Amino acid sequence: MKLQTQRFIDRWAGQLLCGVVSAWVRFTRLFRASVGPCKEPRHILVILLSEMGSIVLAGPMFAALRRTYPGVNIHILQLKKNQEVSKLLQLTQSEFMHTLDDSSGISLVSDILRVSQKMHRLGVDAVIDCELFSRVSALLSFACGAPVRAGFTAHTQEGLYRGSFINHAIPYNPYQHISKQFLSLVDALDSAGSVPRNKAAAIRAIPQTTELSVEFSEDELHGYRAKVRADHPTIAGRKVVLMYAGGGILPERAWPVGHYASVATGLCTAGYAVGLIGLKDDALLAQDLMKKVDDTACVNLTGYTRSIRELLMLFHAADLLITNDGGPGHFATLTPIQTMVFFGPETGKLYGPLGSRSAVLESGIACSPCLSAYNHRMTFCDGNNQCLKRIAPDPVLVQALAFLRNGSATPA
């Protein structure tokens, strides 16, 4: 199903259904006691339908759930196309991973009904809705039958209505990193109701680690490194810089191809190798970049990795990643590679990769960031993304060379 179709259904049908459910909850509340804190839950469902990179940013939240509720069964509901990451990171047992297939409207509705019935039979105690203002995720949190429902509230924001049945709600804060806000959802489970009303919110710093890891043996990493160099002999004996120039589903997040070509040319001239990564759909973009660079030390690695696990091994085999905002920058935090990530339509202050090995590059022009939960990530930009075009390639090249030569990088 197309993204625009999903947004249309979520906006119109979603708001109507949220209103109906809210009215029903208010009516039945007259005959029921109020729901208190979540004590000794057996089953907690986490709804996380966003991009794969968000799963990494939610790592500290999953760790906090396990520390707060030892022995609890954590269930995860996500889109089918994103489940590979959760399995790789072993966020929970495979039988507790549930998926929605959004390839068509029929399959999506069918899966929603199937998962809702399964959660009812299971007797899930609490649900955490990690989506910001999605109506379908809010309705799912109600449909699963959990008495405690934690999620974000827009409070008095107009145009973001998704009902009033999230009974352990926290205010969405666009000034705090999303990983901190995910942690606040865990705090909300143990509250008497919506927070921070009548309760001081926890004081937290931005998590310095994802608390996630993927184990590789030394032999496995050594063998993969050797394979990469055997498949691309022109990079042998050089430090390798990976570049992800694609924009994914949001092309306005991409730094200009000409800027990437300028940096890649400078790196190759300085004696380093450049590997252009991405999905098979990014192959044409990579070929265009290679023509601009015109150096045998610049190789096309789009479609080279067959899984996220292989992508992580590729990161282990390289020294530096230069990337647009997206999944690769977050996956890189699970490996030792240094990362430079471009932000513009969105901001690193809210979605930046965790840890000390990532440098966020932003221009800071007045209209940046323009994508937010309040506009459903629909930019008013006409495609001329000046926020990224104004990040000049020369300072980026200087920063990259500084790291490759000295092992440290500072923001440009």
Q: What value, to the nearest 5°, has the Cα angle with vertex 333 and ends 331 and 336?
A: 115
Residue 199 within a domain: no
Domain that holds residue 87: 3-189
Question: At 35, which CATH number?
Answer: 3.40.50.2000
Mean per-residue pLDDT of the chain: 92
Are residues 129 and 245 both part of a single domain?
no
Are residues 252 and 181 both part of a single domain?
no
In which element (H, E) is residue 64 found? helix 59-68
Residue 284 within a domain: yes
Residue 194 within a domain: no
Residue 180 within a domain: yes
Residue 206 and residue 52: Cα distance in Å, rounded?
20
pLDDT at 7: 78
Are residues 400 and 307 both part of a single domain?
yes
> Per-residue pLDDT tens for 3-43?
778 878 888 888 899 999 999 998 888 777 677 788 889 99
| Number of domains the chain contains | 2
Q: What value, to the nearest 5°, has the Cα angle with vertex 369 and ends 363 and 375?
A: 165
Are residues 111 and 234 both part of a single domain?
no
Residue 198 within a domain: no
Are residues 390 and 294 both part of a single domain?
yes
Residue 202 within a domain: no
Sign of CA dihedral 158, 162, 163, 166: negative
Are residues 258 and 369 both part of a single domain?
yes
Residues of the chain below pLDDT 50: 198, 409-412
Are residues 101 and 245 both part of a single domain?
no
> Per-residue pLDDT tens for 110-143?
999 999 999 999 999 999 999 998 999 999 999 9
Pairing of the two strands 148-153 and 126-129: parallel
Residue 92 is classified by DSSP as: S
Residue 263 within a domain: yes
Are residues 168 and 230 both part of a single domain?
no
Are residues 248 and 150 both part of a single domain?
no
Are residues 182 and 228 both part of a single domain?
no
Asked if residue 167 lies in contact with residue 194, where contact means CB atoms within 8 angstroms, the answer is yes
